[in-house]
Amino acid sequence: MKAIVLIMDGLGDLPNAKGQTPLSAASKPNMDELAGQGQAGLYSSIARGVIPGSDTSHLNIFGYDYREYYPGRGPLEALGAGIELKPGDIAFRANFASVKGGKIIDRRAGRLPTATSRKLARYVEKSRIDGVTVQFMNTVEHRGVLLFRGKGLGAEVSGTDPHVLGPLGVSKPLAPGAKNKKTADVLNKFTKSAMKKLEGAGETRGSRVPANAIIARGAGAYAVVPSMEDRYRISAACVGGGALYKGVAKYVGMDVLEVEGATGDKKTNLKAKADAAAAALKDHDYVFVHVKATDNFSHDGNFGGKKEIIEKVDELLVSKLMEEEAVFVITGDHSTPVERRSHSGHPTPLLISGRGVRKDTVSRFDEMACMSGGLCHVVGTGLMDIVLNEMNKAKMIGT
Ligand SMILES: [Zn+2]
């Protein structure tokens, strides 16, 4: 059996005053039908009550224990941006930002349009500092990736992005050793030189929030890990838009498909994703489909928006993929309650449906109904074990 694993980012939520969550309030006949045909439960991607990041949670979803395999956010973003990494490379997440008098006044430079940041990136894209090749690549809007390639670099350094408005950060080693100090020095020198180069750039000069700096965070060193094919003897593909998710998928050896209109945001083309996933299933055993917009609406505190995107996913994506001969898994990587506008440690609803899957009594897919499902509470890398078992690809332990 093959598997389709649909992750709606930040899917889980908390009931509002009417006792409804975006998922329970949504009209989603196809997800409910799948829940009725198969088994439901709850999923905590790291541990019960622990708040997962989207990076660590996805590693665990694919069965890669984040405590062993997490390389830091930077390398995952870089892989997702299509940058080929070499072992030992140090990568950061980076943003265009607005700095005035040494202080960050806008961490996103007014959410720079992608076309503008692409033009600006040309001013700073490649340099050589202390024998290290430094490369900046813009991705979506103000975001980008900063890559250091050279000898003797460490990844245990703080970034220059303080995550809040105020003084521009200065990178410092977080552990002893010349390697970490070298990385911090190169980052600080790059930050200064980028500011000089961007000062002369015309694209946003005169703006109230000029893109005149690049701030970096999430340093990590890249290393090669065994692929899903190596570990599970299955071929896997990824259909997603967001760089991070494509990066995690690439890191674990999936074929990352470029899907026209899969943007990793609210405007994503769900129909194109459904078509791409159905096509990928022809020559892959495991197809990971990622939808980011649920999480975006949660971070905006938008209950109605989250409900509507769930309805669209049901109508345009689930309806098509449920026709495929495959184990169908639907869950989230974590909860992002709209009321909190941030990730939480609550479990997210989970369903597994398909030929041969035992049927329980749950016939609705939402946070409350799933509590009484036959899968009970699945935790961490255990989800991959369950999926492999339903695919009849699990390995026996012992003899
Ligand atoms: Zn997430």
Residue 342 alpha carbon to ligand 1 centre in Å: 10
> Binning pLDDT at 50, 70 and 90, where does residue 92 land?
very high
pLDDT in tens, 69-88: 999 999 999 999 899 999 99
Asked if 278 contacts 236 with a C-beta cutoff of 8 angstroms, the reply is no
Least confident of 27-31, 266-270, 277-281, 297-301: 266-270
pLDDT for the residue 274: 96
Residue 215 alpha carbon to ligand 1 centre in Å: 22
Identify residues whose C-beta is under 5 A from ligand 1, the ion: 9, 54, 333
Residue 206 alpha carbon to ligand 1 centre in Å: 36
pLDDT for the residue 167: 96
> Binning pLDDT at 50, 70 and 90, where does residue 267 land?
confident
Residue 71 alpha carbon to ligand 1 centre in Å: 17
pLDDT for the residue 205: 77
Q: Look at residue 22 and tell me whether its pLDDT is greater than 90.
A: yes
**Residue carrying the six token digits 């449906």:** 353
The DSSP-derived string for 329-373 is: EEE-SSB--TTTTS-BSS-EEEEEESTTPPP-S--S-STTGGGGS
Q: Look at residue 204 and tell me whether its pLDDT is greater than 80.
A: no
pLDDT in tens, 366-386: 999 999 999 999 999 999 999
Residue 291 alpha carbon to ligand 1 centre in Å: 10
pLDDT for the residue 219: 96
Residue 26 alpha carbon to ligand 1 centre in Å: 20
Classify burial at 227, counting beta carbons within 10 Å of its beta carbon; exposed 0-12, middle 13-18, buried 19 or more. middle
Residue 59 alpha carbon to ligand 1 centre in Å: 11
Residue 335 alpha carbon to ligand 1 centre in Å: 8
Residue 200 alpha carbon to ligand 1 centre in Å: 37
Q: Look at residue 206 and tell me whether its pLDDT is greater than 90.
A: no
Q: What separation in angstroms does the CA of 110 have from each of 97, 123, 142, 186, 386?
A: 8, 19, 8, 27, 44
Q: What's the mean pLDDT in 84-109? A: 94
Residue 295 alpha carbon to ligand 1 centre in Å: 7
Residue 56, number of CB atoms within 10 A of its CB: 23
Residue 334 alpha carbon to ligand 1 centre in Å: 6
Residue 16 CA to residue 83 CA, distance in Å, equals 42
pLDDT for the residue 69: 97
- Furthest C-alpha separation in the chain: 71
Residue 294 alpha carbon to ligand 1 centre in Å: 9
> Binning pLDDT at 50, 70 and 90, where does residue 335 land?
very high
pLDDT in tens, 234-254: 999 999 988 899 999 999 999
Residue 53 alpha carbon to ligand 1 centre in Å: 6
Instruction: State pTM to two decimals.
Output: 0.91
Residue 76 alpha carbon to ligand 1 centre in Å: 14
Residue 159 alpha carbon to ligand 1 centre in Å: 22
| Long-range CB pairs of 392-399, under 8 A, 24+ apart, other chains included | 392/1, 393/232, 393/233, 393/234, 393/285
Residue 57 alpha carbon to ligand 1 centre in Å: 7
pLDDT for the residue 139: 87
**Residue carrying the six token digits 């989970």:** 350
Least confident of 26-30, 207-211, 357-361: 207-211
pLDDT for the residue 366: 98
The token pair at 151 is 């000898």
* pLDDT mean across residues, the chain: 95
Percent of the chain with pLDDT over 90: 90
β-strand partners of 330? 6, 351
Residue 56 alpha carbon to ligand 1 centre in Å: 9
pLDDT in tens, 128-144: 999 999 999 998 889 99
Least confident of 47-51, 81-85, 259-263: 259-263
Residue 137 CA to residue 155 CA, distance in Å, equals 19
> Binning pLDDT at 50, 70 and 90, where does residue 122 land?
very high
Residue 275 alpha carbon to ligand 1 centre in Å: 23
Residue 54 alpha carbon to ligand 1 centre in Å: 4
Q: What's the mean pLDDT in 101-129? A: 93
Residue 23's SS3 state is: helix
> Binning pLDDT at 50, 70 and 90, where does residue 111 land?
confident
